[in-house]
Amino acid sequence: MLDHIRIVLVNTTHPGNIGAVARAMKNMGLADLCLVEPKHFPDEAATARASGATDILDAARVVGTLEEAVGDCQLVVGTSARGRHIPWPVIDPRELAAIAAPLSGQSRVAILFGREDRGLTNEELHACHLHVHIPSVEGFSSLNIAAAVQVVCYELRMAVLQDVRAERPQWGTDWDIELADHVELERLFEHLERTLVDIEFLDPNNPRQLMPRLRRLLLRAVPDKVEVNVLRGILKMVDRAVAGELRGQRVGRSKAD
Amino acid sequence: MLDHIRIVLVNTTHPGNIGAVARAMKNMGLADLCLVEPKHFPDEAATARASGATDILDAARVVGTLEEAVGDCQLVVGTSARGRHIPWPVIDPRELAAIAAPLSGQSRVAILFGREDRGLTNEELHACHLHVHIPSVEGFSSLNIAAAVQVVCYELRMAVLQDVRAERPQWGTDWDIELADHVELERLFEHLERTLVDIEFLDPNNPRQLMPRLRRLLLRAVPDKVEVNVLRGILKMVDRAVAGELRGQRVGRSKAD
């Protein structure tokens, strides 16, 4: 779904970073990597840091100019720190993803990442339709190149997944056991109340706000059916303890016998 | 603005990753780093990869147990791949940021990142209120630890920069009683476990998934301090019932007297 997106690394110095970029891309479902004049590639350090994303490294295209890397792309985006002297349209990675992810099947997109020490040149940035800026802290704004690729690819993947995702707020559990219904919960609370009286924690003549507090706590958690059964099981065993029916209590108890 | 968020790295093997984490944190405006039993720290590789974020490394707290790392935190979140055998509430980094960023000044938040090869253990994950999953590709889902920290810290910074307060999912209570912290919750769970053994509901030789289920239920509810005290009070009375010390049980019980 993101196969129309190409990650372009310009003049990367450290091959380890190229490997880390390949890993970040593969984690997020991207595959098209293009390297413009890398200092060292292929390289063992790249393979090591790719940590299994060697298919991305093997398929990476190595070219001599930016032109060759982006010539077939309709949208070219350069990553940049703020404050270049000619203002350019600047977006953040989320906005980039909102623009680029839906272009699948229509347009090819290149996202450029510059040198570790100096980023992209002004000339390279002026070849771009848009600049993307990761909103880092002023005074410590330069991300590691693989970290920057990770953030951009993460936003692209989130944009793809969010089309599928419902936007409702979380309620209840998100696993496969059915939620307890009202009747099951009320039976649980009745049982709990009886047991609390039996263990002399709840004084029926002065109940204060105890049951409302416990109801509120459990209702916040929105228990499933298995959880309600577990709690009922615990209450039954407490009832037996109160009645002196546990194995450990049986001997010598005239009243319980 | 994110000084209530602590990044906790558990048993990190490669010191370079610790440095890269420090850089990612500083880029995004976080400063509180805690290391649980790192293999090698301090280390030259950490300093090199920190690339200027040495203040974060210098201030990092090194501790021996997870307990020490998160004891004072009201919200504990573990990073996890999908598919653990007991489902737990799972959110993505954007949802985490929407919950955690606005807690500044109210609650302290720990976000745990596990070992490079195995992540967090089930026991560590069961100490968490929530699990955060970075939505990676199935079949190549394991991010580099610094890349994972980068994504989470990026989302936290985005949440600070955009005002997401209005649409954040509910977390915790919205009344004035302080939330229980990790230590209070762990004491509750320990007490609960002892009592469940005493009432013969929990077989210590075959505990199955009982405690994880109960932890999950209560952690979903995010109990406040009063609620924890009420639950501890109930457990104390059950203990007395098991010991045959309730007023209603005293008469004629030779063993208890």
Listed by start position, the domains of chain A span: 5-164, 182-249
ipTM: 0.84
Residue range B53-89, pLDDT digits in tens: 999 999 999 999 999 999 999 999 999 976 666 788 8
pLDDT in tens, B123-179: 899 889 899 999 999 999 999 999 999 999 999 999 999 865 445 556 677 677 888
What count of CB pairs under 8 Å joins A to B?
195
| Chain B residue at shortest CA distance from A213 | B227
| Partner residue facing A147 (CB), from B90, B147, B238 | B147
DSSP category for residue A146 = H
pLDDT of residue B253: 41
CA-based max dimension of chain A: 95
The domain defined by A182-249 folds into Helicase, Ruva Protein; domain 3 (1.10.8)
Shortest CA gap B155–chain A (Å): 9
- Give the span between the Cα atoms of B178 and B103, in whole angstroms: 12
Chain B residues with beta carbon closer than 8 angstroms to that of A252: 253-255
- Report d(CA B136, CA A198) in Å as an integer: 51
DSSP B136: P
Give the mutation candidate from A18, A199, A200 for the B interface (greatest B CB count, under 10 A). Answer: A199
Report percent pLDDT > 90 for chain A.
68
Alpha-carbon distance B169 to nearest alpha carbon in chain A (angstroms): 6
Token code pair at residue A58:
């093997």
Closest Cα in chain A to B150: A147
The correct answer on CATH 3.40.640.10 for the domain covering A5-164 is no
Q: Which of B146, B169, B251 comes nearest A147 by C-beta?
A: B146
Name every residue whose Cβ is closer than 8 Å to that of residue B241 and which is 6 or more positions away in sequence. A198, A199, A238, A241, A242, B249
CB contact under 8 A, A214 and B230: yes
Q: Which residues pair with B130 in a beta bridge?
A: B77
- Nearest chain B residue to A209 by CA: give it: B230
Instruction: Check pLDDT > 50 for residue A109.
Output: yes
pLDDT category, A88, cuts 50, 70, 90?
Answer: confident
Nearest CA to CA, how far is A129 from chain B (Å)?
23
pLDDT at residue A200 is higher than 80: yes
- Any idea which residue has 């991305």 for tokens? A56
- Sign, Cα dihedral of B210, B216, B219, B221: negative
Out of B89, B217, B256, whose CB is closest to A223? B217
Sign of torsion over alpha carbons B91, B94, B98, B100 = positive
Interface test with B, best of A163, A220, A232 (most B CBs within 10 A): A220
Distance from CA of B151 to the nearest CA of A (A): 6
Task: Tell me: pLDDT of A255 over 50.
Answer: no
pLDDT band for B249, please (50, 70, 90 cuts).
Answer: low
Let me know how long chain B is.
Answer: 257
Exposure string over A17-54, b if 16+ CB within 10 A, otherwise e: bbbbbbbbbbbbbbbbbbbbebeebbbebbbebbbebb
Cross-chain residue pair A255–B253, CB shorter than 8 Å: yes
Hey, is B44 helix, strand or coil? helix
Residues A117 and A10: beta-carbon distance below 8 Å: no
Whether the pLDDT of residue A252 is over 70: the answer is no
Tokens linked to A206:
């002065």
Q: Do B242 and A237 touch (CB under 8 A)?
A: no
Average pLDDT over residues B208-237: 94
Parallel, antiparallel, or unpaired: how do β-strands A109-113 and A75-79 relate?
parallel
Which homologous superfamily is B5-167 in? SPOUT methyltransferase, trefoil knot domain (3.40.1280.10)
Name chain B contacts of A93, Cβ cutoff 8 Å.
154
**What mean pLDDT is predicted for residues A138-144?**
94
Task: Please name the member of A143, A146, A241 whose beta carbon is closest to the beta carbon of B242.
Answer: A241
**Nearest-Cα residue of chain A relative to residue B234:** A201
Q: Are B90 and A237 inside 8 Å of each other by CB?
A: no
Instruction: Answer whether residue A195 shows pLDDT above 80.
Output: yes
User: pTM of the full predicted structure?
Assistant: 0.85
Measure CB to CB from residue A144 to each of B23, B154, B247 and give the nearest one: B23
